C-alpha cells in the first residue's frame, strides 16, 4: 500500500495529475491559498492585464533582435564606408550582429534563471529591461564595428531574460488547465516580435536612417519599463503547503480523531472544529516564524480550542491576528520583497540545466525549438538581401513580406493553445481524468506538414524567381509551425517537470540558442555550396525528422521520463520530493 502511494507521488512529480473528477469537474492545480496576496487569488482582469504586459515584454525582446535586419543592406553600406562594392564581404559580417545576439539571448538565461528562482520576477524584470533600454540606445549611436558588436551581444543578454520571465509569470498567475492557452499567447508574442519588428522597421527606414529603428525601439522599451515599475507586483509566491496534497480536512494529519468527531458532532460543531484545525495546522507551519513567540503560539492554540469546544467568545479569533492582509499599492513597488523563493543554491540551479538537457523529453523539445528558431533566424537575417536580388525589393517592400509571418503567428495561437488543450482534454477524459503531459503531443501533426513545406516553398520560390507570394507563403508556414509546435513541446516539458520548470526552460532556451546559432551561422555557406533548393530541402528534412519524433514521444514518453531520471549522469537534477 505504501509503495503504491509512493509511486503515485512520484508520478505526480513527473507531470501526472488528477485534473478532473470522475464527474468531469476541473480540479484546480495548484491549489490556491486563502492569502489575498497569492497571485492565484488575484482578480481575473488583473491577471490578464499582467499577462498582457508580460507578453508585450516578450514581443519587445525580439523586436530589436531581428527588426533591424530589414535594413541589412543599408547597415552594411554604412559599415563599408559607403563603398557598395564591398557589400559582398560586409553583409555576412553585419549579419553576425543578429546571429550572435540570438546566441546570447538564450545562453544568458543560464545566469538569469537562478536569480529569478531565488529572488523573484520583479527585480529581474526591472534590471534586465533597464539594461535592454541602455544597449538599444548604444546600438543606435555607434558606427564602430566592434562597439556595435559588443552592444548587440549585451542587447541579446539583457533582452533574453524575458524569455524565461514569461513562462514563470504565467505559471504564477494561472491554473494548469488555463496555461495552454496563455502559453500560446506568450509564444505568439515571442514569435510575432520578429515579424512586427521587421514590418515596423521597414516603415521606419522609408524616411529615416537605420539607427532610428533602435531609437524607436528604445522609446517602446522605456514605456514598457514604466508599466513594469509602477503596475507589476511580484508574482512569485511562497506556498506553505504541498500542491499535490488533498485538502479535505478528514484526510490530513489526525485523520482518525477528526473522522470520529465528524460522526458525533452536528454541522455547527463540525464547522467550529474544522476552523480550529485549519488555523491549528497553519500555526504548525509557522513554527519557525520569528514573528510569534512559543508562548504566544500556545496561547492562540488554547484560545482556538476553547472557542471550538466550549463556544467561548471572550478571546479574539486567531484569524484577526494572523490572517494575511492585502499589501498596499506602494509596498508592491519595492524592487525586492525581502523573501527568497527557494532554498536551493544559485550554483545548483545553474548546473541543473546541463543535466536536464540529457533527459529525452527535454532534449527533443529543445531540438524542436532549435531547428525552427535556427532556420527562422537564418532566413530573417538574409531575407532582405534575398528579396533584393530576386525581386529588386526595397527594405520597405521586404518588410511588408513579413505580414505573412505575422498572420502565421496569429493562426498558431489557437492551433497551439486551444487545439492543443482540446486534444489533451480528449485523452484525459479517456484516461478517467488523469492527465499525462504527452496527451497534447498529437496536436503537432499539423506542424509536421507545414514546417517542411514552408522551407521548401521559400527555397524553390526564390531559386526559380516564382511569384513573390511563394517564398512569403513559405515564411508564413514556417512562422505558424514555430508558434504551434514550439508551444506544444514547450508546455509538454513544463507539465512533465513542473517542480523544476525554470531549469527546464533554461535548458531549452540556452541549448536552443547554441544549436540555433550553429544552424543560422552556417546557413550562408550551406546555401552557397548547395544552392537554395537543395539547402532548404535538407533543412526541411531535418525539421520533419525532429517533429516526427513526437510520435514515439506520445507512446513511450512517460516511460522515458521515469527511466531516464535513474541515469547516473543526470541524478544531480533530481529535485526535492522526487
Domain ranges of the chain: 39-239+345-572, 249-320
pLDDT of residue 213: 94
Q: What is the phi-psi region of residue 465: left when phi exceeds 0, alpha when psi lies from -120 to 50, beta otherwise?
A: left
485 touches 447 (CB < 8 A): yes
Bridge partners, 435 (sequence order): 17
For the residues of 259-277, what is the DSSP string, one character each?
A: HHHHHHS-HHHHHHHHHHH
Q: What is the pTM of this model?
A: 0.70
For the residues of 132-191, what is the DSSP string, one character each?
A: HHHHHHHHHH---HHHHHHHHHHHHHHHHHHHHHHHHHHHHHS-HHHHHHHHHHHHHHHH
Q: What is the phi-psi region of residue 248: left when phi exceeds 0, alpha when psi lies from -120 to 50, beta otherwise?
A: beta
246 touches 9 (CB < 8 A): no
Q: How many CA atoms lie within 13 A of 125 on its CB side?
A: 33
18 touches 432 (CB < 8 A): no
For the residues of 66-95, what is the DSSP string, one character each?
A: HGGGGGHHHHHHHHTTT-GGGHHHHHHHHH
Q: What is the phi-psi region of residue 253: left when phi exceeds 0, alpha when psi lies from -120 to 50, beta otherwise?
A: beta
In this predicted model, which residue has the larger pLDDT, 534 or 253?
534
Q: What does the pLDDT look like over 55-90, one tens digit per residue? A: 999 889 888 988 888 888 888 888 888 787 787 788
Q: What does the pLDDT look like over 89-146, one tens digit per residue? A: 888 888 888 888 888 988 898 899 899 989 999 999 999 999 999 999 999 999 899 9
Q: What does the pLDDT look like over 322-347, one tens digit per residue? A: 456 888 888 888 888 888 888 888 88
- For residue 241, what pLDDT band results from cuts at 50, 70 and 90? very low
Instruction: Return the minimum-mean-pLDDT range out of 14-18, 350-354, 390-394.
Output: 14-18
pLDDT of residue 546: 96
Which cell numbers hold the place of 415?
A: 492551433
CATH number of 39-239+345-572: 1.20.1250.20
Amino acid at each position: 500500500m505504501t509503495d503504491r502511494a509512493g509511486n503515485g507521488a512520484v508520478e505526480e512529480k513527473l507531470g501526472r495529475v488528477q485534473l478532473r473528477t470522475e464527474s468531469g469537474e476541473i480540479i484546480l492545480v495548484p491549489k490556491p491559498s486563502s492569502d489575498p496576496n497569492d497571485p492565484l487569488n488575484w482578480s481575473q482582469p488583473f491577471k490578464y492585464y499582467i499577462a498582457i504586459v508580460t507578453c508585450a515584454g516578450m514581443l519587445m525582446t525580439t523586436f530589436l533582435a531581428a527588426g533591424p535586419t530589414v535594413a541589412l543592406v543599408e547597415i552594411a553600406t554604412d559599415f563599408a564606408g559607403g563603398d557598395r562594392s564591398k557589400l559582398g564581404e560586409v553583409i555576412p559580417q553585419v549579419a553576425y550582429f543578429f546571429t550572435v545576439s540570438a546566441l546570447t539571448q538564450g545562453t544568458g538565461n543560464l545566469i538569469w534563471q537562478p536569480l529569478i528562482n531565488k529572488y523573484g520576477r520583479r527585480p529581474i524584470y526591472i534590471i534586465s529591461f533597464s539594461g535592454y533600454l541602455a544597449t538599444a540606445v548604444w546600438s543606435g549611436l555607434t558606427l564602430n564595428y566592434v562597439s556595435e558588436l559588443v552592444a548587440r551581444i549585451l542587447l541579446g543578454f539583457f533582452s533574453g531574460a524575458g524569455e524565461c520571465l514569461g513562462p514563470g509569470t504565467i505559471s504564477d498567475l494561472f491554473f494548469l488547465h488555463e496555461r495552454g492557452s496563455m502559453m500560446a499567447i506568450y509564444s505568439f508574442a515571442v514569435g510575432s516580435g520578429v515579424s512586427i519588428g521587421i514590418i515596423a522597421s521597414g516603415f521606419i527606414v522609408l524616411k529615416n536612417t537605420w539607427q532610428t529603428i533602435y531609437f524607436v525601439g528604445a522609446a517602446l522599451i522605456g514605456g514598457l519599463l514604466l508599466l513594469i515599475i509602477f503596475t507589476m507586483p511580484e508574482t512569485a509566491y511562497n506556498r506553505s503547503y504541498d500542491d499535490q496534497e488533498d485538502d479535505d480536512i478528514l484526510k490530513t494529519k489526525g485523520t482518525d480523531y477528526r473522522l470520529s468527531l465528524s460522526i458525533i458532532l452536528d454541522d455547527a460543531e463540525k464547522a467550529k472544529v474544522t476552523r480550529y484545525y485549519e488555523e491549528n495546522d497553519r500555526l504548525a507551519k509557522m513554527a519557525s516564524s520569528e514573528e510569534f513567540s512559543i508562548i504566544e503560539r500556545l496561547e492562540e492554540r488554547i484560545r482556538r480550542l476553547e472557542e471550538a469546544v466550549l463556544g467561548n467568545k471572550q478571546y479574539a479569533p486567531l484569524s484577526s491576528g494572523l490572517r494575511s492582509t492585502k499589501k498596499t499599492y506602494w509596498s508592491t513597488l519595492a524592487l525586492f520583497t525581502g523573501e527568497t523563493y527557494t532554498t536551493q543554491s544559485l550554483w545548483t540551479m545553474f548546473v541543473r540545466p546541463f543535466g536536464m538537457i540529457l533527459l529525452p523529453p527535454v532534449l527533443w523539445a529543445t531540438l524542436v525549438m532549435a531547428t525552427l528558431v535556427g532556420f527562422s533566424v537564418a532566413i530573417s537575417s538574409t531575407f532582405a538581401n534575398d528579396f533584393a536580388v530576386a525581386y529588386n525589393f526595397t527594405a520597405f517592400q521586404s518588410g511588408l513580406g513579413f505580414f505573412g509571418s505575422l498572420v502565421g503567428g496569429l493562426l498558431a495561437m489557437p492551433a497551439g493553445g486551444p487545439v492543443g488543450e482540446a486534444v489533451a482534454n480528449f485523452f484525459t477524459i479517456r484516461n478517467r481524468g488523469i492527465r499525462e503531459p504527452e496527451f497534447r503531443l498529437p496536436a503537432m501533426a499539423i506542424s509536421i506538414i507545414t514546417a517542411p513545406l514552408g522551407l521548401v516553398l521559400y527555397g524553390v520560390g526564390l531559386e526559380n524567381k516564382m511569384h513573390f507570394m511563394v517564398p512569403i507563403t513559405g515564411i508564413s508556414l514556417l512562422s505558424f509551425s514555430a508558434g504551434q509546435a514550439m508551444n506544444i513541446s514547450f508546455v509538454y516539458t513544463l507539465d512533465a517537470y513542473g517542480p523544476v520548470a525554470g531549469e527546464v526552460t533554461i535548458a531549452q532556451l540556452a541549448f536552443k540558442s547554441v544549436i540555433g546559432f550553429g544552424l543560422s551561422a552556417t546557413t550562408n555557406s550551406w546555401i552557397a555550396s548547395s544552392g537554395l533548393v537543395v539547402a532548404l530541402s535538407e533543412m526541411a528534412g531535418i525539421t520533419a525528422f525532429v517533429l516526427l519524433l513526437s510520435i514515439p514521444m506520445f507512446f513511450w514518453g512517460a516511460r522515458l521520463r521515469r527511466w531516464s531520471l535513474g541515469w547516473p549522469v543526470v541524478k544531480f537534477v533530481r529535485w526535492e520530493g522526487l
